[in-house]
Amino acid sequence: MNWKIKLSAVLLVTMFLSFGQELLQHGPHTLESHGYLRTGLGRSLSGGEMVEFQASGAMIKPRFGNEANHYSELQFDYKYQPMNRRDSYELVYMMATYLPYGSTDLTKSIKPETSQLYFKWNKFYKDADIWIGRRYYQRENIDILDWFWINAAQGADVGVGVENLTFNSLMNLNVAFLRFSDELEDPAYKGEFFEDYKLDARLKDIALSTNLNLNLVGQFGIRNGVENSIYDDKTGYTLGAWTSYAKDNFSNRTTIIYRDGVNMIESPYTGKGLLEISAAGSQEYDLDKASDLQILTDIQYEDDSNGFLGAVTYEHKDYGIETTEGNDKTLEHMNVTGRYSRYLSDRFALTFDVGYDYVNHKDDIDGGVFKATFSPEIKWKKGMFSRPSIRPFITYATWSEDLKGQVGIFNDNDVYADKTNGFTAGLQLEIWW
């Protein structure tokens, strides 16, 4: 069976299952399916497969009309509810697969990976739950950027935790302990493995007013050193707070979060900490001095005819080392993104998405990327988060001279390597259930 048949089978099964969440219900036993699918096709108008427009050094980008990949998740959730009892038992399995447009490593890309496999005892004590296994744990994200700004457990080998331990209905406590391990990419220590351990504690839903809640997070991380190497024992911590406001058709979150040492993350899609040395063998960080500060806010507004999503983010990253000019190596990154939909009917909307990323690498790069996308969307019903959604789109981007050769290059397509602007166009299907 070739890769096209395999991919088609995965997509067809995923779409078939999306038409109904509950697969089985018999007495105390329930089996449900949940999932997510993003697929499509796209081209760069100057030639070749679709590329993505992302500023150098930025972990995120405005995603609408700017995702040159297929991605799917398929989850099965078995639940046992004993008769005449509040508590229940749950077993969750989820697989995920990722495939960039034009990928040549198809066998590896299509093979699903186990993203979640965990057991959960719901309401084991009052409203509190206890769990053990591998899971996505209380992730928080800004959807229009696909930025999971808290994602403590994704990619962990195993974790254990307690959720929703409520105190006088005023707040709830959530605690998790996580273990990560991975092979060092440093060519000098190929074959050696490191281990990270992380303790995550959160106080959530602290009511400040009828419409406003405060949430607090603290994390402490430890990395076990690798014997006879430069990778010695390291620690790190995270402190953060965010407010959640909702009233009528409007909602907002505002976040400030600080990380240092091994608690700094390499991407929004994992909780695994950073390493000092890159795969090429060069020093990227001094984890005794490195730190990262993020300040984020996002909003949502909807009425019967209009929908809007917006985000403003700021990040200051200190690598803990000096540049070749003798200055501290830092990154300043700011993003402003907005998406507006005009609903022309229950199933049709005109959507405009614009975003700007500014990056400043000390002694190196100072510039930005502007991206704009237009799409006439066909949707299941009105709503910014209504799915399925079919999106024919066209995207235009322009970027600073300092970023020439670093933007619009994706999966071996370098058609925009000597340019400072470009177009892409395509068709995307997105669905979740």
pLDDT of residue 186: 75
Task: Report whether pLDDT(2) > 70.
Answer: no
Find out whether 402 and 395 touch, Cβ atoms under 8 Å.
no
Percent helix, strand, coil in the chain, to 5, is 5, 60, 35
| pLDDT of res. 117 | 98
pLDDT of residue 13: 54
Element (H, E) at 106: helix 106-110
Residue 143 Cα distances to 119, 127, 147, 299, 385, angstroms = 27, 29, 7, 11, 9
Report the pLDDT averaged over residues 145-164: 97
Q: Tell me 291's DSSP state.
A: E
Residue with tokens 């005819």: 305
Q: Which two tokens stand for residue 72?
A: 């799917």
Closest CA to 317 of 15, 57, 35: 57
- Summarised one tens digit per residue, pLDDT across range 57-70 is 999 999 999 999 99
pTM of the model: 0.91
Contacts of 248 (CB under 8 A, 6+ apart): none
Name residue, tokens 């993505």. Answer: 52
Average pLDDT value for residue range 157-181? 94
Closest by Cα among 364, 283, 425, 354 to 57 = 364
Structure tokens, 237: 């911590």
pLDDT computed for residue 12 by the predictor? 53
**How far from 351 is each of 308, 339, 348, 389, 425, CA to CA, in Å?**
10, 7, 10, 12, 15
CA distances to 11, 101, 126, 313, 415 from 54, rounded to whole Å, are 27, 16, 46, 15, 15
Provide the Cα torsion 276, 281, 282, 284; round to 10°. Answer: -20
State the average pLDDT for the chain. Answer: 91
Judged against a pLDDT cut of 70, whether residue 81 lies above it is answered with: yes
| Statement: residue 357 has pLDDT above 90 | yes
As a whole number of angstroms, the distance between CA 245 and CA 257 comes to 18
pLDDT beyond 60 at 127: yes
What's the pLDDT at 1? 43
Q: In this predicted model, what pLDDT tens digit does every residue of 183-239 receive, in sequence order?
A: 887 777 777 888 999 999 999 999 999 999 999 999 999 998 887 777 889 999 999
**CATH architecture of the domain formed by 3-432:** Beta Barrel (2.40)
CA distances from 403 to 47, 78, 369, 380 (A): 20, 49, 8, 39
Residues 297-347 have pLDDT tens digits of 999 999 999 999 999 999 999 999 988 777 889 999 999 999 999 999 999
